[in-house]
Amino acid sequence: MAFEVMRAIDDGAYANLELPRALRRAGLTGRDAAFVTELVYGATRLRGRYDPIIGRGAGRDVTDIDPEVLDVLRLGAHQLLGMRVDSYAAVDSSVALTRELLGTGRAGFVNAVLRRVSEKDPQQWRDILLKGVEPGSDEALAVSHSHPAWVVRALRAALEAHLGEDADSGGGIEALLEADNAPATVALVARPGLADVEELVAAGATRSQLSPIAALLESGGDPGRIAAVRSSRAAVQDEGSQLVALAALAAAAENGTVEARPTEPDGGQPLHEPDNDRPDEHRGDDEPTGEPEGARWLDLCAGPGGKAALLAAASIGAGATLFANDASEHRTRLVDQAVGAAIDAGADVFVGTGDGREIGEQEPDSFDLVLLDSPCTGLGALRRRPEARWRRSPEDVGSLSQLQGELLDSAVAATKPGGLIAYITCSPHPAETRFVVADAVARHENLEALDAQPYVRDASGQPVSDLGQAPYVQLWPHRHGTDAMFLALLRKRSAATASATS
């Protein structure tokens, strides 16, 4: 099974989507599922370390090895160097797999390469790979932590841009790279009004200390065994993704664009209590007034639907209508599935397919809240999407930042005067985050950045710490245990107000 998933990843599949499907089809649970998961994720994460080792064992560059054989070798190398698998068993099982699926000739090649790999332990191989590389350099970090060197440089720049400190201080960059290679705990979201955390806890999860609507499957297992997940009242969703969506809702509530903050379904306290000490600078004379019923929300790039489903659930109590859009028909279908439970519970949701860059022109000044979870490099989600580091290139950053700017322009145009825009990425790269937002604020004189940090609250209602330099929010795997989510909250002022303050 691990080999089949590796081949699917090589063909463009995402590990965090393909592997759970494969495990369910095979009916694997417990230790067997955990073994396959570690095998696939580890071999994919650490290919930057294993490929040079395999090349040395093969006496040729890995680009000259057939892709399917290379996948077997990566799986074998991870068993030998990254897992507690007996050397004989690791080599023998890899050879048997190759003989069965790829033929006897290739099996002999796999046997020879893996036996050479097994002759040295991980530290010996590390010393060989780092020979002649300057200690502590980005190149050395790339080898040691299996990241492309350009990604190491990008993450270093991100730490310095968001935190305003040297990325080497306190082991920041190394801690981040190590966190990228650590398995992420499965986080579940109890969609407000549809499920509650206690239901997930009763099913074996642990209440989160970070997100007020999250529970963690700390011992692993298939989330699909939980009834609330099967019915889409709950789902797998990173805690960072939950926090930024909740922050957008909390800001919209305070801005007057929703009736009330979403509450726990048992009628408990609001997820975010008002902060009476928060300065009044977040309000303006041009903010929406009167009854908020009929508020219109837009999720501009909604696929695959996690944040849209959270918004849809929250919209029921807020009396809002949600419009969820995505440019891909396939991702639109995923959004349809994700919001189904909320629609069944009474949510008013419209799902469509379209170019998000055109919606601002098609629907000007139409939405009270626009959430833009923008396409990005995904450099903040490398724990859960280990293949992303090998698929992206530095050239992608330029093309994506241009797209992000165009989408943000459309979001601004689609937002009502006084309305809010939540700009979100799962990348901390400065060119995809702070720079995109700063450029948009410079282009639009009626756009202002609000301090997003007071709206990011943990499960006890306290402000989350270490969010970087205000007014933005930047979460980190090594500091918060989440994906590296970025959030900017922007308010669109009326033309008259913008002119008066310019």
Element (H, E) at 90: helix 87-101
CB atoms within 10 A of CB 495: 12
- Strands (E) in 91-212, as ranges, are 186-190, 206-207
Long-range pairs for 282-286 at CB < 8 Å and ≥24 separation? Answer: 282/251, 282/254, 282/255, 282/450, 282/451, 282/491, 283/255, 284/418, 284/491, 284/493, 284/497, 285/497, 286/417, 286/418, 286/493, 286/494, 286/496, 286/497
Catalytic residue among 54, 426, 431, 450: 426
Structural tokens at position 381: 């989600």
Alpha-carbon distance of 368 to 381, in angstroms, equals 29
Ramachandran class of 377: left when φ > 0, alpha when ψ lies in -120 to 50, beta otherwise? alpha
Count of helix runs (H) and strand runs (E) in the chain: 23, 12
Residue 301: active-site member: no
Cα torsion through 360, 431, 457, 340, rounded to 10: 50
Alpha-carbon distance of 242 to 245, in angstroms, equals 5
Q: Decide: 138 and 173 in contact? Cβ < 8 Å.
A: no
Residue 210 has what DSSP assignment?
Answer: S
Q: Which residues are catalytic?
A: 426
